[in-house]
Structure 1
Amino acid sequence: VFHPHWSWNVGLMGRPHDLGNISKYLGKPTGLEDYIGWLGSNFDPSISWKDLEWIREFWDGPMVIKGILDPEDAKDAVRFGADGIVVSNHGGRQLDGVMSSARALPAIADAVKGDLAILADSGIRNGLDVVRMLALGADTVLLGRAFVYALAAAGGQGVSNLLDLIDKEMRVAMTLTGAKSISDINADCLVQAIKQG
């Protein structure tokens, strides 16, 4: 309804989507096969933590490393000069079945809390999820898909409505867990696993 030209071309005429973020590099309209080929030719398995030192030679701005799921990797991020990490499984898209961010977060927070900023994403859909991730040790929480859906459904007003909804959901969760402010959100807000003997 909002994009009739696109709907006509893609939905009715069957034209492929153009992955515009790589089209300019390939010099032609691209589809999924082009993207997979481009990704394969640009993926460098030799990248290592030492490359962060090289990046620091010409970049003195904040450096945040995304995709951390292991406490040792979080410690390496600190050691090699990162200002922050994003505890992220990339929405489970890069490696199906990989550990969730929520499961990885407590051990990572135990290892590096206070040494760098800990951001978290993946699987966060509402205000309660935001509170959970903060309680598990994140300093900040990132949402992606929820905003994309809100924008697609109702434009800027949809995003504004989503922010209001997340705020309300967070306030309810905080009230019910006794957290008077964001800084009061901690692991005590969570039900701890009952260990079977």
Structure 2
Amino acid sequence: MTHPQWAWDVGLNGRPHDLGNISAYLGKPTGLEDYIGWLANNFDPSISWKDLEWIREFWDGPMVIKGILDPEDARDAVRFGADGIVVSNHGGRQLDGVLSSARALPAIADAVKGDIAILADSGIRNGLDVVRMIALGADTVLLGRAYLYALATAGKAGVANLLDLIEKEMKVAMTLTGAKSISEISSDSLVQELGRSLPAALAPMSKGDAA
């Protein structure tokens, strides 16, 4: 345990977990239930693409839309002024039968590559996964669970070690596929199984997408 004082404080005082990005809107939360309640009350399923036009009227900074899995949605993101999209199925946690990011990415890249920044996440566990996603069309790859595991295990040093390991794994993958730089990583580096579409050939990675 790298931070025993934190565990001691929570055990004695019942300090609530803090969701820093929304705590300013809650006044004085007394427990995790306050955060969950706020999220439930502010989740609006009626939001549509038209709402992005309204947001753009008040916000001229970078705007990135997460959860894109369909090429037409990617085109809409471009049309309504987004600067970037995140091809993501949210780790498969919200809808476990949803299409994986790896399977969705090639068609989305074909539709909007060069028109908008394409980020991708879900199921990224190592440097080879990063290279795969770039080869499938991502400009940038995001990590979630991998760095959280490293942080929980060894704190800041664990995250630094993870990033170093991912970089080394990427370099090995690039060397063995003949890519001298990130810009040289392409779908040519991927093997397409006979009679199967390119994303279907990524079975090991796809299984991890919804894990």
Normalised by the length of structure 1, the TM-score is 0.88
| Structure 1 residues 16 and 103, CA gap change in structure 2 (3 angstroms) | farther
* Change in CA separation of 1:103 and 1:16 when aligned onto 2, cut-off 3 Å: farther
Q: Distance in 1 between matches of 2:52 and 2:165?
A: 38
Q: Which residue matches 2:137?
A: 137
Which residue of structure 1 aligns with residue 148 of structure 2? 148
Shift of 1:58: 1.6
CA RMSD of aligned residues (A): 2.1
Does the 8 A contact of 2:2 with 2:155 survive in 1? Answer: no
Q: How many residues align?
A: 194
Q: Is the 8 A contact 2:119 2:141 kept in 1?
A: yes
Q: Which residue identity lines up with residue 93 of structure 1 in the other structure? A: R
Shift of 1:29: 2.0
Q: Does 1:176 align with 2:182?
A: no
* Paired amino acid for 1:30: G
Q: How far apart are 1:156 and its partner, in Å?
A: 2.1
Displacement of 1:96 in angstroms is 2.0
The one-character-per-residue Cα deviations of 1:100-151 (angstroms, maximum 9, x if unpaired) are 1111100100111111000001110110000000000001111122222222
Could you tell me whether the CA contact under 8 Å between 1:89 and 1:99 is conserved in 2?
yes
TM-score (norm 2): 0.83
Residue type of the partner of 1:99? L
> What is the aligned partner in structure 2 of residue 30 from structure 1?
31
Find runs of 4+ consecutive structure 1 residues off by over 6 angstroms.
none
**Structure 1 residue ranges without an equivalent (≥5):** none
- Identify if the C-alpha distance between structure 1 residues 92 and 17 changes in structure 2 by more than 3 Å, giving closer, same or farther: farther
SS at match of 1:67: strand
Which AA in structure 2 matches 1:116? I
Paired amino acid for 2:126: N
Name the SS for the 2:65 alignment partner. Answer: strand
- Relative distance call for 1:131 and 1:20 in structure 2 (3 A) is closer
User: How many angstroms does 1:189 deviate by?
Assistant: 0.7
Sequence identity of aligned pairs in percent? 78
Distance of 1:87 and 1:153 partners within structure 2: 28
Deviation at 1:157, TM superposition (A): 1.9
Q: Distance in 2 between matches of 1:179 and 1:23?
A: 45
Aligned: 1:127 with 2:127: yes
- Is contact 1:23–1:29 with CA below 8 Å preserved after alignment? no
Q: Secondary structure at the match of 1:123?
A: coil
Higher relative contact order (CA 8 A, sep 6+): 2
Question: What is the match of residue 118 of structure 2?
Answer: 118
Equivalent runs, 1:1-197 vs 2, <5 Å: 1-8=1-8, 18-21=17-20, 22=22, 25-26=25-26, 27-31=28-32, 33-195=33-195
Superposition deviation, residue 34 in structure 1: 4.2
CA 1:20/1:39 → structure 2, altered by over 3 Å: closer, same or farther?
closer
Shift of 1:176: 1.1
Q: Which moved more, 1:34-43 or 1:54-63?
A: 34-43
What amino acid is aligned across from residue 30 of structure 2 in structure 1? P
Asked if the contact 2:19/2:35 (under 8 Å) is kept, the reply is: no
Residues 141-150 or 85-94, more deviating = 141-150
For residue 65 of structure 1, give the secondary structure of its aligned residue in structure 2. Answer: strand
Contact 2:136 2:186 in 1 (8 A): yes
Q: Distance in 2 between matches of 1:179 and 1:95?
A: 35
